[in-house]
Amino acid sequence: MLVLVLIEETSIADVVLRQLHQKGIASIAYRDPLRALDHLTDLNPEAVIIRGKDFPLHQQLLAALVRFYVPLNRCKMIVLGRGIPDFPPCTCIAEEQFLREPSLITNEILKPHHIDSKTGSRLVAKAQRTMKF
């Protein structure tokens, strides 16, 4: 299992990476969202963890990519902080709650993942049209 971590704040990233390492989950950490997007399809991770506060605009693009790009159908997306509401691949975990209980991340990663339909918000539909998935 491989998890891509996109968090700029090193103290938060360290907590996430430590929790993943304790559960034996391989991870790759990025601080540059463009580099993470470039490597996302090559790495084909089982989950992506992004801190919404660090990358508020990139989380929407990343969510659309995870949701509609066929090779990433099985990928989960976990947003620390405020995320995109009503969008199936995203699970939002409040940062304060995560800092109190870091196991929330690994519990979410290890849960079964399924999405029934390709419905999403208007924002995602626009991203889909723009990116021609």
Tokens standing for residue 33: 């969202």
CATH number at residue 112: 3.40.50.2300
Is the overall model pTM greater than 0.85, yes or no? no
Q: Which of 67, 79, 77 is nearest to 45 (CA)?
A: 77
Residue range 98-108: average pLDDT? 91
- List, for residues 111-127, the tens digit of each pLDDT value: 886 554 454 555 556 66
- List, for residues 45-95, the tens digit of each pLDDT value: 999 999 988 988 888 888 888 888 888 878 889 999 865 655 666 888 888
Q: What is the pLDDT of residue 115?
A: 55
The kind and range of the H/E element at 124 are helix 122-131
Q: What is the pLDDT of residue 15?
A: 94
Instruction: Give me the helix-helix angle, 10-22 and 103-110, nearest 10°.
Output: 60
The number of folded domains in the chain is 1
- List, for residues 6-37, the tens digit of each pLDDT value: 999 999 999 999 999 999 999 999 999 999 98
Separation of CA 23 from chain center: 18
Which residue segment(s) compose the domain that 32 sits in?
A: 2-131
